[in-house]
Amino acid sequence: MRHIPERLRDFPSAILLTLALFTASQRLYATSWTPGLEIAPLLTVFGVVLGFALGFSNYKRRGVIWLGLGYSLFLVPVVSGWILYQKTAWLERMVSLGGRLGYSLFLFFNAKPVPDPVLFILFTGLGFWVISLVAGYALTRRGDFTLAVTPAGVILFIIQLYDSGVGDRI
């Protein structure tokens, strides 16, 4: 007989984890470092919900990785295009986002200043997406709340370190 691993079905822990991750992403958004940072809170909520779903699933690790990668390749560009471009056709959004990102990466790797904030916005959004996806998965599959919350705590500490001068946003 095959043993099915136990999944954590602790609703209060899931709510607490979602609030902790959302708080960390909202703290980034509250810095107002650049327009478009609302991508991080939205991707955080989507990521933690997907992480919970993948953690509850019966897929093995390889299947979970492929599903997470597939959802990432779809959701991150769609949310980014939805937030960064309003009242624009979807194909034009994706082409413009790809062009801006490609040019920003070209400047970054050639050690030149990058005036367009799209690289920072997508990096932070992707970072919160990965952290929340892994945290939701770790909580439901392993039941390890410390492993799930620690990356968001570190990110929150780093944001506070670089944005501690304005008392209204603390």
The model's pLDDT over 23-80, given as tens digits with 9 standing for 90+, comes to 889 988 888 888 888 999 999 999 999 999 998 888 888 999 999 999 999 998 888 8
Lowest mean pLDDT among 4-13, 62-71, 94-103: 4-13
The pLDDT score that the predictor gives to residue 165 is 64
What is the model's pTM? 0.85
- pLDDT at residue 163 in the model: 78
pLDDT attached to residue 167: 59
- Please report, rounded to a whole number, the percentage of residues in the chain having pLDDT higher than 70: 91
Q: Residue 169: which pLDDT band, with cuts at 50, 70 and 90?
A: low
Q: What number of CA atoms fall less than 13 Å from residue 19's CA on the CB side? A: 6
What tokens were used for 57? 């699933």
Q: What is the dihedral of CA 156, 83, 101, 21, to 10 degrees?
A: 20
Q: DSSP readout, 56-102? A: HS---HHHHHHHHHHHHHHHHHHHHHHHH-SSS-HHHHHHHHHHHHH
Give the pLDDT score at 14: 86
